[in-house]
Amino acid sequence: MQFHGLLLTALLGVAYTSPLHAHAATADSAREQDILARSFSRGAPLPQWAQALAEIPTTQREDPLVVRLAETQSYAGATQATLINRAVQVNDRNMLDRIGQLSLTYYPDYQKLKLHRLTILRDDKQLDHTRTVNARLLQREQALEQGMYTGASTVQLLVEDVRLGDTLWLTYSTEGSNPVFGNRLTEDYTWDSADPVELRRLTVFYPPQRPVRWQQFGDFRTDAVSPKVDDYNGMKRLRFEARGLEALEYEGGIPAEYFPARFLQFSEYRDWNEVARWATGLFPEPKTTPALAALVKQFNAEATPAARAAAALRWVQNEVRYFSVSIGENSHKPQDPNVVIKRRYGDCKDKTYLLVTLLRAMGITAHPLLVSAQAPRLPGRMMASPTLFDHVIVQLQVDGKTYHVDPTRTGQPSPLDKLSLPLPGAKGLLVAADTTALSTLPERDNNAIRFERDERVVIQSFDGDATLETNETFSDSHAESARLNFPSMSRTEFKRDLLAIYEKQYPGITLAADPEYRDDVANNRFYLKARFKLPKPLQQKDGRYRIEYDSSIISGSLGIPDKIVRNYPLQLARGAFTARYRLRLQWPDSVRLNKDPQNTTLDTPYFRAAEEYSVRGNSMDYLLDYQVKVDSVAAKDVPDLQQQAKQLTNYTSGNFNVDGHFAKQPRDGKLSMRALDGESTSQDARQVVSLAAKTRPSSEEDIATLCHALLTVNQLKDSKAVRSQVQAVESLVRQFRKSVAAQRCQARALLEDARFAESVAAHEKAGALDDDDSDMPDLAWARYYAGDTDKALQDMARYSQAMREENGALPGFVAVNQLALLKLAGRDIPADALQYARQLPDGPWPRPLLGMQAGLITPETLLAQLQSLPADERDLALSEAWYYIGLQRLAEQKPEEARKAFQWVADNGMPSYEETVQARIQLRRLGQ
């Protein structure tokens, strides 16, 4: 019923096949010849119920293939029947197979196939092949390799002597319907085709007393198709007709629930309750046998109802292999659970019936739930009909919670509340007599990370080898797939696949040890760990050393086609999902860097890529979170998607590099990072002051730079003599009385002197600050210590929001600063900040600070973690950690512990760090 490929098959009711394969000879078997003799005939007269056939129109079209006539007559009497009458003209040699080899599929268990006419129209001749065409019965089960046997048979017709310009005139009928539906009409008829159609006609006959309803669907072509309604031989007749239908263009990647073509749905079911009551009859209460009772006893030994349900689910999933025998009414009617237990095989309906029976026997409420695996949301768009469903799962209630489980899945040993969701957002029909509407299955949390790759690269020397350690974490459905995939691989295959990930990136890579995996069943997670040796991975170019990386989580995730101007929506390659990549890189010891943590975010309607980057000493920590937000994109938005996706190049892969001079100079072990920072900061500040003494500042930017230098020089000269820097700044203000930068400078100096009210007044005198002004946090803290908590929080919130908008995400230290103020003010941490902190409390700095503020780790744990870092990275992080520990102790009403923390920063902190200056402010404040 789906119209994804827009194939002519959907319109003609016939499959065009490739040349005969060797296995076609199996049609000569006695059994197949018997089926052919009983259920197939040729040359039979038209059915008595049928009306006169439509005339084949002429055509002037030169398309490779033209459907001159596409006529369908459908009869819903005491026995259901369908008549197909088609005329197809070929104007291109490459299309001759379309009329020379035909496949007619039917179900011999309940249908008869009659070939009324097979004629070639050539010029003014009619070449009748009805009785002479080579016909073979092929019982080729298309899905047999997937464990499905449907009982379908195919009559393959091989037409001799077809030529360019010929028209195939084919008329055939099928009689009979699947007995499981009780002769109730439920059919869908496609209206449009991938080929042009000169005349399309559909006629439906049914007794006037039967409640047959119909409705037109179609998302691209929407012009109404209206029937002519009358009576014909005591039957109600609906005749739909159209001429000159243009071909529909084929496009790949169409969402399952989208219909480019129009189609007409007919159903004799008034509502979903009728369908539910029909389905209820398929799952009667079975007899309890000793085998069934033994299983119930086995599962009842579990401690809780949830554990019993999970044990029953695992048994049905793992002990009953999947194989479907769906012949006749068994297409929808399951086998008795006792039969399934004996055979140890069954399909979705068999396994569901068995599991529901076991659960009910243990006192657990359970029902089958009909769903569509091919198009999960489709039933919600359609009229009530049982043929919309191709799968069935189980809905159960345990301890007041509702769960949905799929007995056909494997790899699900986890507790019920940790299992992945089957068909998120699907529309399903609960099999219960009182069901009146479809239910919606829970949606998947697309913010939850289901795959993580963590890489650690250690480079001992610039011209030597390196080591790479990878840790992959699979969660939810990814874990269920991983626990089936990896353990089933041989060691050779396992190693080969792991190496293949990196061989292009690191030529010559080898495994340093056997890879390992660990299954965390309780949390439905699967871990994979591997260690590699990288032969000389650094590349030298333009005086810099670099190493390449590939996040591996972005490539192939969107599946944007070459043709981006489309008629139909685009189904994204992986649908909505979220993944994470982290790279921790340790350079040789001679590298000593100190850069503020950075983050950038690319946020579009379709995807979001957020990266964080921290460089401390010789350690680099990079984190990329990538989320595809939607499953599909509207046709009009695909060009925009393609343009936006170009920006993902900077996130997909790249390189990290350092200046080549680090390779030429050994590490200076005599100077600590604090000493280096102080020396560099002092030198820069004194140069500014010296230059200002020779050249009078001429711009607001120059004044601001000079102000910062004056404050820094005086801080470094005598950290306790803050008065001297205030005096220097006051002198500067007098020189530049009208300068806003000088007034802001004075406000900062007053803040550092713990004269908070005066600092606020100086800010207000200088004029209102823009929300993104870097002085806004100073004003917020000055207001708070001056006693105006509400305005302080407002200022900090404005600044945080501005930074969020500017960067696409809230920068780490902006978030840390805001949370510190909120905690001091006794306010709750915002939910989004709390969620962000919980995501990765051991992530790139300053995420651990956020974890401490959110209560996920204690200050003591944080300090212990920092002690394990390389020396430079540790010293830099401790400067910040002790300051925020001090603020945390203030919020906890522990001033003495706070004072000790601030004193540590004042004595040992990085001189250039804002936290060091703020710690001294806190000491002055606590000393008042």
pLDDT tens, residue by residue, 396-417: 999 999 999 999 999 999 999 9
Mean pLDDT of 850-858: 92
Residue 716: pLDDT band (50, 70, 90) is: low
Mean pLDDT of 176-185: 93
Mean pLDDT of 781-798: 96
Q: What pLDDT, in 10s, does the model give residues 662-715?
A: 887 765 556 788 877 777 766 665 665 555 555 566 666 766 666 666 666 555
Asked if pLDDT for residue 426 goes beyond 90, the answer is yes
Residue 149: pLDDT band (50, 70, 90) is: low
Which comes out higher in pLDDT, residue 748 or 682? 748
Mean pLDDT of 786-794: 96
Asked if pLDDT for residue 773 goes beyond 50, the answer is yes
Residue 403 bridge partners (DSSP): 396
What pLDDT does 7 receive? 31
274 vs 435: CA distance, rounded Å: 9
Q: What pLDDT, in 10s, does the model give residues 532-568?
A: 999 999 999 999 999 999 999 999 999 999 999 999 9
Asked if pLDDT for residue 107 goes beyond 80, the answer is yes
Residue 789: pLDDT band (50, 70, 90) is: very high
Q: Which of 18-22, 108-112, 312-316, 436-440 has the lowest mean pLDDT?
A: 18-22
Strand blocks (E) in 162-261: 167-175, 186-190, 197-206, 213-217, 228-232, 235-245
Q: Which of 8-22, 53-67, 222-236, 864-878 has the lowest mean pLDDT?
A: 8-22
Q: Which one of 308-317, 584-593, 611-620 scores highest in mean pLDDT?
A: 308-317
Phi and psi angles of residue 807, each rounded to the nearest 5 degrees, phi first? -100, -10
Nearest to 833 by CA among 883, 823, 825, 824: 823
Query: What is the CB neighbour count within 10 angstroms for residue 324?
Result: 22
Asked if pLDDT for residue 328 goes beyond 80, the answer is no
304 vs 805: CA distance, rounded Å: 49
What residue type is 423 in one-letter code?
A: L
Question: Coil, strand, or helix at residue 507?
Answer: coil
Euclidean distance between the first and the last CA atom of the chain, given in angstroms as a whole number: 81
Q: Which one of 709-718, 792-801, 909-918 scores highest in mean pLDDT?
A: 792-801
Which comes out higher in pLDDT, residue 145 or 9? 145
Q: Which pairing describes strands 134-138 and 65-76: parallel, antiparallel, or unpaired?
A: unpaired
Asked if pLDDT for residue 349 goes beyond 70, the answer is yes
Mean pLDDT of 585-594: 92
Report field, pTM of the whole predicted structure over 0.75:
yes
What pLDDT does 728 receive? 56
Judged on CB neighbours under 10 Å (0-12, 13-18, 19+), 488 is: exposed
Residue in the structure block whose two tokens are 């120059």: 702
Q: What pLDDT, in 10s, does the model give residues 258-275?
A: 999 999 999 999 999 999
**Contact in structure between 99 and 67 (CB atoms under 8 Å):** no
pLDDT > 90 in the chain, percent: 76
What residue type is 840 in one-letter code?
A: L
pLDDT > 70 in the chain, percent: 88
Strand blocks (E) in 399-465: 401-405, 427-430, 439-440, 451-459
Token pair for 922: 């806190």
Helix (H) or strand (E) run with residue 769 in it: none
**Contact in structure between 350 and 200 (CB atoms under 8 Å):** no
Helix (H) or strand (E) run with residue 121 in it: strand 112-122
Phi and psi angles of residue 360, each rounded to the nearest 5 degrees, phi first? -65, -35
Q: Give the CB-side neighbour count of residue 902, counting CA atoms within 13 A.
A: 22
Q: Tell me if the bond preceding 811 is cis, omega within 30° of 0.
A: no
Token pair for 148: 């499905």
What pLDDT does 564 receive? 96
Mean pLDDT of 127-152: 73
Q: Give the CB-side neighbour count of residue 467, counting CA atoms within 13 A.
A: 7
Token pair for 342: 């004996």
Phi and psi angles of residue 857, each rounded to the nearest 5 degrees, phi first? -135, 155
What count of residues does the chain have?
A: 928
Mean pLDDT of 707-730: 53
Q: Tell me if the bond preceding 846 is cis, omega within 30° of 0.
A: yes
861 vs 851: CA distance, rounded Å: 11
Cα dihedral 147/149/155/157 (nearest 10): 0
The rounded mean pLDDT for the chain is 89
Which DSSP string do the residues of 88-153 spell out, in sequence order? EEE-SGGGTHHHHEEEEEE-TTT-EEEEEEEEEEETTEEEE-TTTSEEEEE---TTGGGTEE---E
**Contact in structure between 502 and 475 (CB atoms under 8 Å):** no
Q: Give the CB-side neighbour count of residue 532, counting CA atoms within 13 A.
A: 26
Question: Coil, strand, or helix at residue 160?
Answer: coil
Handedness of CA 288, 289, 295, 297 (dihedral sign): positive
